[in-house]
Amino acid sequence: MKDLTIRFSELKRKDHVQRWIDFLSGVFELTPKEVTIMNEFIIILVEMIEKGISNEDSKFLMYVKKDEIKEKLNLNQSAFNKHLRNLGKKEAIIVGENFILVHNYLIPKNSIKIEFNG
């Protein structure tokens, strides 16, 4: 059995998140704009994780920060909401009444191992 190990630990946070999302964007069939939005959400989430913010608190804070992301990306409310709905349909995120939860696969890891049988 052969395997491929990819290590991301040497990368800076923003580059790490960008490469992680690029790596997994095909799995979720994300558009380029959705990749950009997810990058912003995940950078915020990684910062919260590094600060030791609980999962419950981070889901709420991600919801609170969504307007900052919309403004940073210069999107109007209608377009941003459409992208959030599409990300929800693709199961990249779950948007609740007062929380946003990112799919666990999209939270960057320091390394991954892919095994090939054959």
> pTM to 2 decimals?
0.79
Q: Which residue has the higher pLDDT, 23 or 39?
A: 39
Q: What is the mean pLDDT of residues 15-42?
A: 88
Class of domain 2-116: mainly alpha
- Cβ proximity of 3 and 32 under 8 Å: no
The pLDDT score that the predictor gives to residue 5 is: 53
Angle (CA) 68-73-91 rounded to 5° is 80
Q: Which residue has the higher pLDDT, 114 or 41?
A: 41
pLDDT digits (tens, 9 = 90+) for 44-82: 988 888 889 988 898 898 899 999 999 999 999 999 999
**In this structure, what token pair is assigned to residue 113?**
């191992």
The pLDDT score that the predictor gives to residue 118 is: 66
How buried is residue 45: exposed, middle or buried, by Cβ count under 10 Å (0-12/13-18/19+)?
Answer: buried
**Alpha helix (H) ranges present in 29-101?**
32-50, 55-72, 77-89
Give the Å distances, CA to CA, from 10 to 6, 31, 61, 89, 113: 11, 27, 28, 33, 17
| Portion of the chain with pLDDT greater than 70, in percent | 85
Q: Which residue has the higher pLDDT, 55 or 94?
A: 94
Residue 10 pLDDT > 50, yes or no?
no
The pLDDT score that the predictor gives to residue 20 is: 81
- Cβ proximity of 97 and 34 under 8 Å: no
